């Protein structure tokens, strides 16, 4: 059997993507903005082709144009890089404590982060013996207002942002228990702020209840939520101190200092 040559780097199969990569590499090689002419020369692309691709990248904020005819890397790349970095570091810090918590309670433990108007599940610890009919897949998404972790993130927003979220999403419901009215959501978020935990009472899925505690980073910023999911009749309030302790352990690993800057 013929062996593949591991030393030959893979190249994109779509030409425009290959060209886009080469343009980004050139922009990354310099701290200051680069002229269209120089970018074209370094990549070997025709100026009109270079201009067209850069303009498309600028539309997505992957490239900035500080002045006419010059380009540099855009803030969107920084945002995405920080998002990836945050997910990786949080997941690394959370994995072992999550597994320990799961061993204690024998119910699914979820790690999720906010992305826009949704939470994204980035890790989980569960077993088939938990009795859960639905376990959220890693990479799965859910609306903020229907989830325990999502409520934690909404609770740190100011009232104007919460109202804007309600307007954008319409507070659409999934079950008869879903919160679909802004005043009810605001009362729920006030409780989350007061107690530092949030709950999902069969609001995303009938038969499933959740409780969540926040995970904070070295800037004392809420970066993720740790939640326990269980059949509605089996969620045990005695799990709450264990959940909070585990979330605190993960936060400490990320550099969080409870007596530091107010969160």
Encode pLDDT of 159-218 as tens digits. 999 999 999 999 999 999 999 999 999 999 999 999 999 999 999 999 999 999 999 998
More confident residue, 180 or 130: 180
Most confident range, picked from 4-18, 97-111, 116-130: 97-111
Supply the pLDDT for residue 207: 92
Check whether 119 has a pLDDT greater than 50: yes
Give tens-digit pLDDT for 249-259: 999 999 888 86
Place of tokens 């990248």: 57
Check whether 107 has a pLDDT greater than 80: yes
CATH number for the segment(s) 80-253: 3.30.450.40
Supply the pLDDT for residue 191: 95
Check whether 129 has a pLDDT greater than 90: no
Q: Quick one: pLDDT band at residue 109, thresholds 50, 70, 90?
A: very high
Residue intervals of the chain classified under CATH 1.10.10.10 are 15-73
More confident residue, 166 or 126: 166
Q: Which of 9-18, 45-54, 240-249 has the lowest mean pLDDT?
A: 9-18
Question: What does the H/E/C string look like for the chain?
Answer: CCCCCCCCCCCCCCHHHHHHHHHHHHHHCCCCCEEHHHHHHHHCCCHHHHHHHHHHHHHCCCEECCCCCEEEECHHHHHHHHHHHHHHHHHHHHHHHHHHHHHHHCCCEEEEEEECCEEEEEEEECCHHHCCCCCCCCCCEEEHHHCHHHHHHHHCCCHHHHHHHHHHHCCCCCCCCCCCCHHHHHHHHHHHHHHCEEEEECCCCCCEEEEEEEEECCCCCEEEEEEEEEECCCCCCCHHHHHHHHHHHHHHHCCCCCCCCCC
Q: How many whole angstroms separate alpha carbon 194 and alpha carbon 243?
A: 17
User: Nearest 5°: CA angle at 236, between 186 and 104?
Assistant: 120
- Average pLDDT of the chain is 88
Check whether 79 has a pLDDT greater than 90: no
Residue intervals of the chain classified under CATH 3.30.450.40 are 80-253
Fold (topology level) of 15-73: Arc Repressor Mutant, subunit A (1.10.10)
Place of tokens 């980035």: 122
Provide the token pair at 124. 């989980």
Instruction: Name beta bridge partners: 214.
Output: 225
Rounded to the nearest angstrom, the gap between the alpha carbon of residue 129 and the centroid of all alpha carbons in its chain is 28
Check whether 97 has a pLDDT greater than 90: yes
Q: Quick one: pLDDT band at residue 12, thresholds 50, 70, 90?
A: low
More confident residue, 101 or 261: 101
205-234 average pLDDT score: 94
């Amino acid at each position: 059997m013929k062996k593949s040559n591991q030393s030959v780097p893979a190249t994109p199969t779509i030409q425009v993507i290959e060209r886009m990569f080469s343009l980004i590499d050139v922009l990354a090689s310099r701290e200051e903005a680069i002229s269209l002419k120089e970018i074209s020369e370094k990549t070997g692309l025709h100026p009109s082709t270079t201009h067209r691709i850069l303009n498309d990248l600028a539309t997505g904020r992957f490239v900035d144009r500080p002045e006419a005819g010059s380009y540099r890397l855009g803030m969107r790349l920084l945002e995405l890089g920080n998002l990836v970095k945050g997910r990786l570091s949080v997941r690394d810090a959370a994995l072992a404590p999550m597994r320990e918590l799961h061993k204690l309670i024998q119910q699914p433990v979820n790690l999720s982060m906010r992305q826009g108007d949704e939470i994204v599940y980035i890790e989980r610890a569960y077993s088939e013996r938990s009795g859960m009919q639905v376990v959220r897949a890693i990479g799965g998404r859910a609306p903020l207002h229907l989830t325990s972790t999502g409520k934690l993130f909404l609770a740190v927003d100011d009232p104007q942002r919460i109202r804007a979220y309600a307007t954008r999403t319409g507070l659409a419901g999934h079950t008869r228990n879903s919160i679909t009215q802004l005043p009810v959501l605001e009362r729920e978020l006030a409780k989350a702020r007061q107690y530092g935990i949030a709950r999902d009472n069969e609001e995303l899925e009938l038969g499933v209840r959740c409780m969540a505690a926040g995970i904070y980073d070295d800037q004392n910023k809420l970066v993720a939520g740790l939640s326990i999911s269980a059949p509605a009749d089996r969620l045990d309030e005695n799990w709450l101190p264990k959940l909070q302790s585990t979330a605190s352990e993960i936060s400490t690993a990320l550099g969080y200092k409870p007596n530091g800057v107010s969160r």
